[in-house]
A = this chain, B = another copy of it.
Amino acid sequence: MTLQEIGQKAKEVSHVLGILGTEEKNQGLRAVADALEAGQEAILAANEKDMEEGRNNGMSQGLLDRLKLTPARIKGMADGLRKVADLDDPVGEVLSMKKRPNGLMIGQKRVPLGVIGMIYEARPNVTADAFGLCFKSGNAVILKGGSDAICSNKAIVEAIHNGLRESGLPEDAVLLITDTSRAVTQELMKLNQYVDVLIPRGGAGLIRAVVENSTIPVIETGTGNCHIYVDETADLSMAAEILFNAKTQRIGVCNACESLVVHEKIADKFLPLVRERLQEKQVEIRGDERACAAEASFVKATEEDWGREYLDYILSCRVVDSLDEAIAHINRYSTGHSEAIITRDYESAQRFLNEIDSAAVYVNASTRFTDGEEFGFGAEIGISTQKLHARGPMGLKELTTTKYIIYGNGQVRP
């Protein structure tokens, strides 16, 4: 199939998916979950091919770990789909309905986006997860996974098609692009005629490439240079615990803390505490001049450190004179993902919530909570760091749009 044909099929099937009943969709999701488990052997065999290819090509241990499927991971994918089946169907909700003076009833109704394109890297579980969320929200999905996972993705999509077929649902609900060339990715990014939105999932390089080359609207997900600001009135032991959690509970994720900002009035007291608490995980701390003066074990930071998303046991640390300076520093260097203030002061808390320009802003809690699951969405397709359409964790609702429905009885415009 050419990409044009894939696009056309997706557009056609999207009109069918958009009006499926909730029960049909849920039943389909459960059948696909069963089909994934039933197809376990074929999926694992295909995955082993990708793993072997990866080992031969000298793929890093980290990437091999992401690529690897196990019976437990396949069960995880299947259970994920069953969970999505249990979530509320966002489609069809009427958000408002108002009567105008001329008698027109104007309502706004939640409807699917249409066709979603996902461009992602080596994690084959994204294949099933993306299908589940897109299908439940009434969308067709075109998948373009990494070439490293192509055998695994083909096997997973085959299992999904089996489940859909058994349920009498259209297999084209999920279409996998099997040509893994860059040229096809470029072409996909210009398929405006058929694709309503592109969601890239992966490293900063992939996301930048999609933002720069796509003519289709993109939802940017991902990078997080998250800050914790410890105010002069903070409970310092709470601050140290939150910092420890946000920095070290899981280092490779976008909501991990990368930078600590500390009020100068408490720097001398708090920074030795930080050293002590983060010692357990051997976190390297890169401080500005005042931070290094307060705590001799810190390494000297360079300008470049303030903008880094380390995804590692490294933390940058800056001492500021005031809340104003903290807010200005964070708004300048953050990627707009998640930031927290630790404070006991009412006004500082309110000002931080108002003036920090990020997707999620916390008072006295770890940045690690920015996550669809933790926010109560049940599942997420990514965390948007842009401001258009969706900001923060994206669940089923964020995969929908609205349309206006208008009931008249002959009205014309005077």
Give me the interface of A with B, judged by CB distance under 8 Å: 15, 18-19, 98, 100, 104, 106, 111, 113-114, 192, 196-197, 211-212, 215, 217-219, 235, 238, 241-242, 244-246, 249, 331, 353-355, 357-366, 368-370, 374-376, 386-389, 391-392, 401-413
Q: Are B410 and A241 in contact (CB under 8 A)?
A: yes
How far is it, in angstroms, between the C-alpha of A103 and the C-alpha of B205 when the chains are bound?
A: 37
Residues of chain B within 8 A of A370, CB atoms compared = 404
**Most chain B beta carbons < 10 A, residue from A98, A100, A114, A387:** A387
Find out whether the CB atom of A361 lies under 8 angstroms from the CB atom of B410: no
If A364-B410, A365-B408 are given as contacts, then 8 extra A-B residue pairs at C-beta distance below 8 Å, sorted by A number, are A357-B403, A359-B404, A362-B406, A362-B408, A369-B406, A375-B404, A388-B388, A391-B401
Whether A106 touches B387, Cβ cut-off 8 Å, given contacts A19-B354, A413-B366, is no
The prevalent SS among residues of A at the interface is mixed
Task: Provide the bound-state CA to CA distance between A376 and B355, in Å.
Answer: 31
On chain B, the residues within 8 Å of A392 by CB distance are: 402-404
Chain B residues closer than 8 Å to A355, beta-carbon distance:
15, 18-19
Q: Is the CB of B238 within 8 A of A410?
A: yes
B212 touches A357 (CB 8 A): no
Query: Knowing A404-B359, A406-B360, A413-B369 touch, does A211 contact B192 (C-beta < 8 A)?
Result: yes
Partner of A15, one of B18, B357, B361, B408: B357
Identify the interface centre among A370, A375, A376, A412: most chain B CB within 10 Å of its CB: A412
When A and B form their complex, which 7 residue pairs have the shortest distance between CB atoms, in order from nearest?
A365-B408, A245-B412, A368-B413, A387-B401, A389-B389, A360-B404, A365-B411
Chain B residues with CB under 8 A of A404: 359-361, 370, 375, 391-392
Kindly identify which residue among B192, B376, B388, B412 contacts A389, using a CB–CB cutoff of 8 Å: B388
* CB of A392 to closest CB in B, whole Å: 5
